[in-house]
Chain A
């Protein structure tokens, strides 16, 4: 069964360092997403991406964050200068494309746990 894969599963970094989280979406999906979950809090939407550009983003997704599809398979989330409050589980997801937008549910990866010290 096709699945979304994420690497690394856990990353520890020092405050101020850049972090790149990687995701390989399901191969025929065209919509990609990042969510995050701070420990004990809600799963929060960060950004959606389609056709090599951001289609929607939340207020959390500020200038410290960026997303990229560097090749035909990977989808990355970069945090430019990490802060303590960036510590969270980051989930990548993908979905199919339909007429006028995404179609069907999101398929999530297992998450990348980021710990900022």
Chain B
């Protein structure tokens, strides 16, 4: 069975600062990995996903994540935070060939002016 751990329930950054949201996964074989975002009063939206190929994955809104097998990590980054990035971010994992995600607890990103 796959699982993910998101370090930090809340991350606070200043506008323009680097965003780093951490995610580590547990899986016996390399899984599929996802980041979803949930803006206030909205549903879950896929930011990016890793299935195969290039380990650095670029997503929407300037976010990217890198799959590091040796570290079992899939951290989400963005070079410069914007106020509109304030949201809940969920890392998720699924078995290879399945797109049914198992979610982490989520990290709330707070962006200060």
**Using a CB–CB distance below 8 Å, which chain A residues touch chain B?**
4, 6, 33, 35, 41-45, 48, 56, 91, 93, 95, 101-111
In the assembled complex, which residues on chain B have CB atoms less than 8 Å from the CB atom of A6? 43
Whether A42 contacts B99 by the Cβ 8 Å rule is no
Whether B42 contacts A44 by the Cβ 8 Å rule is no
Beyond A102-B100, A109-B43, 13 additional pairs, beta carbon < 8 A: A4-B43, A33-B100, A42-B105, A43-B90, A43-B106, A45-B100, A56-B100, A91-B43, A95-B99, A105-B46, A106-B101, A108-B45, A110-B41
In the assembled complex, which residues on chain A have CB atoms less than 8 Å from the CB atom of B105? 41-42
In the assembled complex, which residues on chain A have CB atoms less than 8 Å from the CB atom of B45? 108
Could you say which of A4, A91, A106 contacts B99, with CB atoms under 8 Å apart?
Answer: A106
The proximity string for B residues 35-65 relative to A, scoring 1 for CB distances below 8 Å and 0 otherwise, is 0100001111110010000000000000000
The B91-113 residues at the A interface (CB cut-off 8 A) are 97-106
Quote the shortest CB–CB distance from A75 to chain B (angstroms): 15
Closest B residue to A98 using CB positions = B99
Whether B99 contacts A44 by the Cβ 8 Å rule is no
In the assembled complex, which residues on chain B have CB atoms less than 8 Å from the CB atom of A104? 99
